[in-house]
Structure 1
Amino acid sequence: MENIRSRLKFGNKVEDVKLRKRKSQLYSKEDESSLNDGVLRARVVVFCVLLRLINCFLVQTSFVPDEYWQSLEVSHRMVFKYGYLTWEWKEGLRGFSYPLLFACIYKILYSINYDSVFLLIWLPRIIQAVLAAFADIKFFYLIQTLQSPDVAKWTFFCHLCSWFSWFCCTRTLSNSMETTLTCLALFYFPLPESKTHSSKKYLTLVALAVIIRPTALIVWFPLLMYHFCQEEDKLRLITHNYIPLGAVAVVLSTVIDCIFYEKLTLVQFNFLKFNIFHGVADFYGSHPWHWYLTQGFPVVIGPHLPLFLHGCSLAFKKYKILLVSIVWTVLVYSLLPHKEFRFIYPVLPFCMFFCGISLARLKAWRRAAALVLLVSNLSAALYTGLVHQRGTLDVMSHIQTLCDTSSTQSPPDVLFLMPCHSTPLYSHVHCPINMRFLECPPDLGEEGYIDEADIFYDDPLHWLRTSFPYKSSLPTHLVLFDVLEAEISVFLNGSSFARTAEIFHTHFPEGRVGGSVFIYERH
């Protein structure tokens, strides 16, 4: 009996040892998997930050005036107390929340005496690049939880190689911040099979996006309705999330705007009143209803378009709500007369879900397709970021040198004879020299309305002769596109102006915008 008992004990000990061994192997595999996952995520973080910083410094061209006139120019005036505000700020159409971010950066630089032109221009863009990288990282984490490793890899690849994201994400545009916040909010949104859902977090980010750009509500309206329909406790969602967070966002933005406007100003109401009910946006151009379908969306999504269409047929059921949001956004903006590429930029990350699924499904062809995708997007990104429309920024470096003019010379007086808001202004010069440009506010029904730019281009010589009847009133420098030179050559020669600089702008001159920018100086 004792032998039997001893054998049983020995057998139990052996089993215990084997069990412990199996457990230790299992734990070691879990630890190894966790370690590998941590290393992968750390690499993704470093890669995304480095990529967006490189992206930032390889975008040296201009896109639209709003990237300066609705952000950096406003921030510069907030901190340094000189500059120019466009008509939107005088009418209370724009909120100060977004410029306030850069104004804080400017204030810090000013307080430590590091407010150089280089830092004033590039530090806001670096901040924008880091935020874009953070959104990229969250996008990667999200697709990891929703898709297989293979599909997640190709989806992230599609996201990072988008030429339009490269072109826009590091710019100081409210649309860029709107897209960044939308991408971050998507991480916490209750997508099917999502493991990162947090109603308060995603709604807070959506509220911030709406504060910065009220039209963000267009993108998020179908998503909010989807969440409401899916939620079991609808009353709690409304009373604990929708109403409180919405109210805080409205109050916060209103307080900020009232402080800087120095009066009660409801920016969201003014924005709707002027742009929707009064149709002021039409003043800046209108397009046919199908423009987004035939031009806007194909250009924004670029070479990804075939993959997107293929991916929609494969993943329609799983990501139906994202497709609904894309279609809804394009349709709503199609109803508005004034259209721009950047307006639909926030739905671009949604499109990448479908592109990634398509690319992963190609299997034998996907490496070749990925190479074509990378080369075509990279070519477009580098050309638009380094070559196309760079003259209006480069010219400001020449103007900035006028700040160093000795006191014995007459103070610089620069006149920009270009379509209004073609260049930035004091945010890229940072000294209070006299600079003027042709103004073009919309007709708001006021008496004596004048569109200075249109009057000038109707008869440039007449405008110049009547505006400067005496030599003493002439500016010291003129900045113009090359297409205007022949038309005002008589004035230039008769007023002793000589060309001192020629700066490349674009290979595709159009209308009033020429291929080069000229600087003329009076001798």
Structure 2
Amino acid sequence: MEQEGGNGRLFFRGLQNRSHEKMKLRKRKSTLYLRPPNSSERSGDLLGENIYLVLFTIALRICNCFLVQTSFVPDEYWQSLEVAHHMVFNYGYLTWEWTERLRGYTYPLIFASIYKILHLLGKDSVQLLFFCQLCSWFTWYCCTRTLTNTMETVLTIIALFYYPLEGSKSMNSVKYSSLVALAFIIRPTALIPWIPLVFRHFWQEQKKLDLILYQFLPIGFITLSLSLIIDRVFFGQWTLVQYNFLKFNVLQNLGMFYGSHPWHWYFSQGFPAVLGTHLPFFIHGCFLAPKRYRILLVTILWTLLVYSMLSHKEFRFIYPVLPFCMVFCGYSLNHLKTWKKPALSFLFLSNMLLAFYTGLVHQRGTLDVMTHIQELCYNNPNISSASVFIMMPCHSTPYYSHVHYPLPMRFLQCPPDLTGKSQYLDEADIFYLNPLNWLYREFHNDSTLPTHLIIFSILEEEISAFLISSSYERTAVFFHTHLPEGRTGSHIYVYERKLKRKLNRS
């Protein structure tokens, strides 16, 4: 019995020793996991990796700037660069939105400041102006463009970094709310995706009154005051452009003058087109992402629903929710095992091909033709007697911001009806009803004929009689798109009036 008891004690001591060794091993492993023995070296490696990542991103975006040589929508020129050019050089064109004070000068002031510095330095050539425009930090197709939607998206991304999301280590209520306020000043619709996010923050905040009194109200007052002062300087009167913008586009829904789509357009076409080949990964990621990211999915759906209630719809309007979508795409790719590499290759190749095509090929003619006009201004000795008429859908091309020369130019106007008249037709609509008759009525006197005409190829046959009788000859051709539709042709033609040749024949 004693021997058996001794053996039993030895047995239990052995178990205790083994358990102690296991506990020591676990503690050692946990210590290794939480605090690496070479933590300073590891921190240095991470810092080096981050620096290389930042440098790579900067280099990629610089290449990105030069690989986007096409046009997207008129607002990227007419609501930013053209306005800034007018602010600095006192010539250019301000669209009806500016006479109606629907737009504010805060965003164009960024570009105007650059133009003014270059002008004072005597370096305001078109090439340098373009270089400053292209050297921006926006993403591939849309974010290299000077759209207010671009700045709205960028500010949203930075604000989201500081948003108090569960588990976030960089949360800062003052910073994120300041960025949201600035985005609202630049484009009032920027507030739409932030409504559920701000409401969630307010709901979870313990000191709700302090959040309103010491953060939201002071930040809102300062940014709105700054916007009012800037617009007071340039408009010459106190104007709340954010209210005018919302009244026109949301309350009165007059944006439908520029086209309307069915309510489901964003869900059936717009959103899938913006996501592209990321769509299946986004859907997959929605089922995998942690609960704390549900607020981002709510934000995406909320934004799509709100914009769906407006008649006028465009791809760029929902661009700010694209960064939210990428969170879910990342979770999808992270959970793929066998198919991860093929999926990454598929996403890279499909997006690269689409980016290069849309950035270098599709709709590039409207930029190329204005570069041609700019070159004529500086190389033509008879430029003082020259004039240009752009007979295309209104705002198809950039204007003085790209030509940068006080050349007399004209284009077909298309302001919306702000008087409430029925059966309203703008100048462009009237022109396209019967282009030939319109031209003969408009230019009944040869002295009023412009020296250069710019048209889409689809219009050439219809006005050929006018071109021949007025001694116009085609002098330049520019490719525009493989997908012509409506009033837009595949090529752009430049016609020049040859007066001397006509006199010799007579």
TM-score by length of 2: 0.90
Q: 1:72-102: CA deviations, max 9, x gaps?
A: 0000000000000000000000010000000
1:249 offset after TM fit, Å? 1.3
Cα separation, partners in 2 of 1:475 and 1:446, compared to 1, 3 Å: farther
Partner residue, 1:490: 465
Partner residue, 2:45: 36
RMSD in angstroms over aligned alpha carbons? 1.7
* 1:414 lines up with 2:369 in the alignment: no
1:447 offset after TM fit, Å? 8.2
Q: 1:175-232: CA deviations, max 9, x gaps?
A: 1111111000111001110000000011111111111110000011110001111111
SS in 2 for 1:511: coil
- Matched letter for residue 451 of structure 2: T
Aligned residues: 465
SS in 2 for 1:472: helix
Partner residue, 1:162: none
What is the rounded CA distance, in whole Å, between the counterparts of 1:254 and 1:226 in structure 2?
29
Which of 196, 201, 216 is the equivalent residue of 2:170? 196
What is the rounded CA distance, in whole Å, between the counterparts of 1:97 and 1:235 in structure 2?
31
1:471 offset after TM fit, Å? 1.2
What is the rounded CA distance, in whole Å, between the counterparts of 1:248 and 1:409 in structure 2?
48
SS in 2 for 1:298: helix
Q: 1:45-70: CA deviations, max 9, x gaps?
A: 10111111111110000000000000
> Which runs of structure 2 are paired with 1:318-467 in the superposition (5 Å)?
318-404=292-378, 411-445=385-419, 451-467=426-442
- Matched letter for residue 491 of structure 1: F
Q: 1:459-509: CA deviations, max 9, x gaps?
A: 101110111001111000000000000000000000000000010000000
Which of 215, 237, 253 is the equivalent residue of 1:263? 237
Which of 453, 472, 475 is the equivalent residue of 2:447? 472
Aligned 8 A contact 2:455 2:493 in 1: yes
> Which runs of structure 2 are paired with 1:38-187 in the superposition (5 Å)?
38-126=47-135, 128-129=136-137, 132=138, 165-187=139-161
1:169 offset after TM fit, Å? 1.0
- Matched letter for residue 250 of structure 1: L
- Matched letter for residue 77 of structure 2: Y
SS in 2 for 1:363: coil
* 1:247 lines up with 2:256 in the alignment: no
SS in 2 for 1:168: coil
What is the rounded CA distance, in whole Å, between the counterparts of 1:67 and 1:404 in structure 2?
25
Q: 482-491 vs 201-210, which deviates more?
A: 201-210
What is the rounded CA distance, in whole Å, between the counterparts of 1:333 and 1:119 in structure 2?
37
Aligned 8 A contact 2:390 2:412 in 1: yes
Partner residue, 2:18: none
1:305 offset after TM fit, Å? 0.4
Partner residue, 1:11: none
Partner residue, 2:186: 212
What is the rounded CA distance, in whole Å, between the counterparts of 2:363 and 2:257 in structure 1?
23
What is the rounded CA distance, in whole Å, between the counterparts of 1:467 and 1:297 in structure 2?
43
Partner residue, 1:502: 477
> Which is greater in Rg?
2
1:412 offset after TM fit, Å? 1.2
Q: 1:26-51: CA deviations, max 9, x gaps?
A: 78611111101110110111011111
1:431 offset after TM fit, Å? 0.6
Aligned 8 A contact 2:165 2:292 in 1: no
Partner residue, 2:262: 288
Partner residue, 1:279: 253
Partner residue, 1:516: 491
Gaps of 5+ in 1: 1-21, 133-164
- Matched letter for residue 481 of structure 1: F
Partner residue, 1:223: 197
Q: 1:289-328: CA deviations, max 9, x gaps?
A: 0000000000111100000000001115230110010000
What is the rounded CA distance, in whole Å, between the counterparts of 1:440 and 1:410 in structure 2?
28
Q: 1:145-170: CA deviations, max 9, x gaps?
A: xxxxxxxxxxxxxxxxxxxx421111
Gaps of 5+ in 2: 1-30, 499-506
- Matched letter for residue 29 of structure 1: N
Aligned 8 A contact 1:316 1:323 in 2: no
Among the aligned pairs, what percent are the same residue?
Answer: 59
What is the rounded CA distance, in whole Å, between the counterparts of 1:447 and 1:301 in structure 2?
40
What is the rounded CA distance, in whole Å, between the counterparts of 1:403 and 1:242 in structure 2?
51
1:122 offset after TM fit, Å? 2.7
Flag the structure with more relative contact order, 1 or 2, with Cα contacts below 8 A and sequence separation at least 6. 1
1:278 offset after TM fit, Å? 2.3
1:125 offset after TM fit, Å? 3.0
1:409 offset after TM fit, Å? 6.1
1:339 offset after TM fit, Å? 0.3
What is the rounded CA distance, in whole Å, between the counterparts of 2:104 and 2:38 in structure 1?
53
- Matched letter for residue 101 of structure 2: G
Partner residue, 1:154: none
